[in-house]
Amino acid sequence: MTGSSTISEKEVSSLLQKCAFDKTARAVDIIHILQELHQSCTPIILCSDLLSSLNGSFELTFSSAVFNLPFLGPISGGYMPNKEIITFDFQKENKMSLEVEILPFLPTININGDSLVLNQTSNESPYLDYVVRGKEDRPPSQWKILYADEEIVAAKSSVTGFNVIKRV
């Protein structure tokens, strides 16, 4: 990682592993590291093909939006209290789908996005764009990629803040 950052790739990877798989990382530490990556505009990409690594299904593990919720945030520590599976399909349909399971006995909520694209230029961090179905009058949702390896992705969402997802 370049720039004025005081954190190393190894520290970021270790913290995100604890977040995604053990849920033992503290929310303030996760948010601090992701803010630092966001401000540095220098993502950590530890996969040879980012598009292939982003293609597929992931479980949303952590969200700063959840951490900032009254009552639930302090209890959950930013970790998802429910199950949310997000799928990025770059190979067939260029779509995003999100299945939200609130409680096991309730129907799932499905959110779909069209026109999914990965924007990669040498001047800025890569980001995903998609248009949420039914909200075509709004700007596209955007995920700025801050960290990616074969199993974990951390991003800053234009809608939900800092997110950490793990491959399922």
Domain holding 139: CATH number?
2.40.128.280
**At how many degrees (to 10) do helices 9-17 and 27-40 cross?**
140
Cα distances (Å, whole numbers) of residue 34 to 56, 61, 94: 23, 14, 27
- pLDDT digit string (tens) for the chain, length 168 residues: 334 456 799 999 999 999 999 999 999 999 999 999 999 888 999 999 999 999 999 999 999 999 999 989 889 999 999 999 999 999 999 999 999 998 888 899 999 999 999 999 767 789 999 999 999 999 999 999 999 999 999 999 999 999 999 999
Q: Is residue 118 part of a domain?
A: yes
CA 42, 154, 163 angle in degrees (round to 5)? 130
Q: Is residue 4 part of a domain?
A: no
Q: Is residue 72 part of a domain?
A: yes
Cα distances (Å, whole numbers) of residue 162 to 66, 93, 121: 10, 26, 21
Range of the domain at 57: 9-167
Query: Number of structural domains, the chain?
Result: 1
